[in-house]
Amino acid sequence: MSSPNTLTELLYAAPSEGIAVILPEAGIRVTYGALREQVVSLADALRAAGIGRGDRVATVLPNGLPAVVSFLAASIAGTAAPLNPGYRQDEFSFYLEDTSAKALLCPHGGAAEARRAAEGRVPVYSLQMDEGGFVRITDGPGRPGAGRTAAAPSPEDIALVLHTSGSTGRPKRVPIRHSNLAASARHIVETYALSPADAALCAMPLFHVHGLVASTISTLLSGGTLVVPAKFNPLSFWRTVRDCGVTWYSAVPTIHQLLLSRAGDERPAGAERLRFIRSCSAALPPDMMSRMEQVFGAPVLEAYGMTEASHQMCSNPLPPGARKPGSVGPGTGVKVGVMDSGGALFPTGQRGEVVIQGPNVVEGYENNPDANAASYTQGWFRTGDQGYLDADGYLILTGRIKELINRGGEKIGPREIDEVLLTHPAVAEAVAFGVPHPTWGEEVAAAVVLREPQNEAAILAHCKERLADFKCPKKLYVVKEIPRTATGKIQRGAVAAALTGK
Ligand code: AMP
C-alpha cells in the first residue's frame, strides 16, 4: 500500500473507476474519479472566495455527499471545521468565533440557526448536490469566481479543527494535521485489513472523528466504498447493509443496542457479508458484545479512540487474534502507557492514567497553554482516562479522571451545562452530572439550588433554547443545598451518588 501523508494524496490512492461513495436513499454511486473532480472543484471555489492555508471553513451539514466533499475540499483549500447541526444559535456563535471561521458552508435552504449566528460576521455559502451526485456552491456572497487553484497541502498543514469538552472552561480546540489524519487512517486500514473489496456503512455523524476517520478516510485510503445514509435509521439499516454489500460498520454502543433490540434472535438478512463490526467512543458492555456476535454472526471488535489522537489508539484484532471482552485491545500504531499523577510509568497490571504517543497524536491544543501543560508529560499525551495494561498488552479502561458525560459517544463538558443553568435568574447554584442510562450509556442530569420558586419545566426550556438537545439535562434535582464531600468540596460523582443513589 502506498503511504499518503495528506488528504489530497489519500484521495488519489485508489483507481478512478472504483466506487468511492454510495448514497443509498438517492441510489447514487460516486466513483473515485467523480469524487476527486468535485473535491478539487469545491477546493478551487473556496480558494477563489479567499480561503487560504490555515483559514477555517466551518461546515454545518447532515451526513451525505456534501459533508464528505466539503470536509475534503475545506481541508485541502484551508482547514475544515465541521460543526454539529444540532447546535443552537448561541453555540454556533461560540464555535464560529472560537475557530475564527472565514466561511460557513450550509445545506441549500437549511441550517437556519447557524446562518443567524454567522450574519454580518462570516460569509455563508450554500451547497447542493445535483441529481448526478455532484456537489457545488449554489449561492454565497459575491459567488466565488473561477480561475484560482487551491495548492496541495503539506503533511504539516492543519487539515481539521475539532473541539473537545474540557473538565474546566470552554471546549478546547484540537488542530489535526494532514499527517496525523493520514497516520490514523493507515493504522485503521492495517488493523482491519481494509481493501478495495470492503464497503463501510457510515453510521456516525460526519462532524466527529469517529465518522470522519474510522469510516470515511480509512475507507478512501483502502480504495473501498463508503455507504452514507442521511442518518442512522435502525429500520432501514439492514436493508442498506444487504443492498449495498456492506462488509463492516463502526458505531457507538448506543447504535449497536438499538440494532440489537430490533433484531430479536434472528440474524438480519445482509449480516452474512459482514467481516466484522467495530465499536468505539464509549464502553461496550461484554454481554452486549457477546449478544451481537451471536445475533449478527460477525466478530465484534472494540476500539478506543479520541479526537486528540485523530481517533484510533487501540483496537481488538481481527480473528485469529484474540478479542477480549471488556478490553479495548492493544495499541494500534501508538505506544500506550499507564502513568501516575507525578509522571512515572506504571508496570503491567497497575491502574493509572492512560497515556499515548504516536504519529496520529496532535502536538497540542490551540491557544491553550494551561491545557497543554496539564496534558503532555515527557512526550506522552494524558488521555484523562483511567485503566491498566494486561500481560498481553491489551488495555482495560476502568474509569475517567476527566469530568465528562459520555452520552452515546457525544462528550459533554458538565461545566457548560452549569453555566447555562446559572444564567437563569432563579438559579443560584448548579451542578450537572452524568447518570447511567440503558441506551445512551450516560444521560445528563443536574442539581440546582433556587433563589426563588420556579418550576422545573421553565428551567429546562431555558436550557433547550441555549443548548443542543443532547446536552440538555433530562432531569433536574431541586435541592436546598448541593451535597458536598467531607472536606466541603463539590464533586460531581458524589453529587450524582447522593441524589440518585447510583
Ligand atoms: P472523543 O474525543 O469524542 O472521541 O472522545 C474520546 C473519549 O471517549 C476517550 O477519552 C474515552 O473517555 C472515551 N472512549 C472512547 N472509546 C472508548 C471505549 N471503547 N470505551 C470507553 N470509553 C471510550
What CATH topology corresponds to 329-400? Luciferase; domain 3 (2.30.38)
**399 CB burial (10 A radius; 0-12, 13-18, 19+):** exposed
415 C-alpha to center of ligand 1: Å?
Answer: 19
Q: What pLDDT was estimated at residue 392?
A: 98
Q: Which among 162, 385, 401, 470 is the best mutation to test ligand 1's pocket, defined by most ligand atoms within 8 Å of the CB?
A: 385
Question: Which run of H or of E encompasses 310?
Answer: none
Residue 320: cis peptide before it, omega within 30 degrees of 0: yes
Question: Which run of H or of E encompasses 12?
Answer: none
6 C-alpha to center of ligand 1: Å?
Answer: 25
For residue 308, which atom of ligand 1 is closest to its CA? 2
Q: How far apart are CA 345 and CA 271, in angstroms?
A: 43
Residue 164 Cβ inside 6 Å of ligand 1? The answer reads yes
- Calculate the dihedral angle through the C-alpha atoms of 377, 383, 387, 392, rounding to the nearest 10 degrees: -80
Inter-helix orientation angle 65-77/32-48, to 10°: 50
Which residue's CA lies nearest to atom 15 of ligand 1?
Answer: 281
Q: Which among 406, 410, 440, 470 is the best mutation to test ligand 1's pocket, defined by most ligand atoms within 8 Å of the CB?
A: 406
Q: What pLDDT was estimated at residue 1?
A: 44
Q: How is the chain split into domains, by residue range?
A: 7-300, 329-400, 405-500
Q: What pLDDT was estimated at residue 491?
A: 84
Which residue's CA lies nearest to atom 20 of ligand 1?
Answer: 283
Q: Is the pLDDT of residue 144 over 60?
A: no
Residue 328 Cβ inside 6 Å of ligand 1? The answer reads yes
Q: Given this chain, do its domains 329-400 and 405-500 carry the same CATH topology?
A: no
Q: State the pTM of this model.
A: 0.95
Q: What pLDDT was estimated at residue 352?
A: 97
Q: How far apart are CA 58 and CA 122, in angstroms?
A: 9
304 C-alpha to center of ligand 1: Å?
Answer: 6
Q: How far apart are CA 280 and CA 293, in angstroms?
A: 16
Residue 306 Cβ inside 6 Å of ligand 1? The answer reads yes
Q: Is the pLDDT of residue 143 over 80?
A: no
Q: Is the pLDDT of residue 155 over 90?
A: yes
Q: How far apart are CA 401 and CA 353, in angstroms?
A: 8
Which residue's CA lies nearest to atom 12 of ligand 1?
Answer: 385
DSSP string, 188-226: HHHHHT--TT-EEEE-S-TTSHIIIIIIIIHHHHHT-EE
Set of cell numbers at residue 266 = 434472528
Range 302-331 average pLDDT: 98
For residue 307, which atom of ligand 1 is closest to its CA? 2
328 C-alpha to center of ligand 1: Å?
Answer: 10
Q: Is the pLDDT of residue 169 over 70?
A: no
Q: What pLDDT was estimated at residue 278?
A: 98
For residue 304, which atom of ligand 1 is closest to its CA? 16
Which residue's CA lies nearest to atom 9 of ligand 1?
Answer: 306
Query: Which CATH code fits 7-300?
Result: 3.40.50.12780
Q: Which among 160, 302, 304 is the best mutation to test ligand 1's pocket, defined by most ligand atoms within 8 Å of the CB?
A: 304
> What is the percent of the chain with per-residue pLDDT over 90, rounded to a whole number?
89
Average pLDDT, the chain: 95
Q: What is the pLDDT of residues 406-437, one digit of tens each?
A: 999 999 999 999 999 999 999 999 999 999 99
For residue 404, which atom of ligand 1 is closest to its CA? 12
Which residue's CA lies nearest to atom 4 of ligand 1?
Answer: 306
* Top-confidence residue, 141 or 251: 251
CB contact at 8 A, 315 and 278 = yes
Q: Is the pLDDT of residue 282 over 50?
A: yes
Residue 413 Cβ inside 6 Å of ligand 1? The answer reads no
Residue 304 Cβ inside 6 Å of ligand 1? The answer reads yes
Architecture of the domain whose range is 405-500: 2-Layer Sandwich (3.30)
Range 180-200 average pLDDT: 98
Q: Is the pLDDT of residue 167 over 70?
A: no
CA neighbor of 191 nearest in space, from 161, 162, 213, 175: 213
Q: How far apart are CA 370 and CA 95, in angstroms?
A: 20
Residue 383 Cβ inside 6 Å of ligand 1? The answer reads yes
Residue 176 Cβ inside 6 Å of ligand 1? The answer reads no
As a whole number of angstroms, the longest Cα–Cα distance in the chain is 68
Q: What is the pLDDT of residues 207-257, one digit of tens each?
A: 999 999 999 999 999 999 999 999 899 999 999 999 999 999 999 999 999
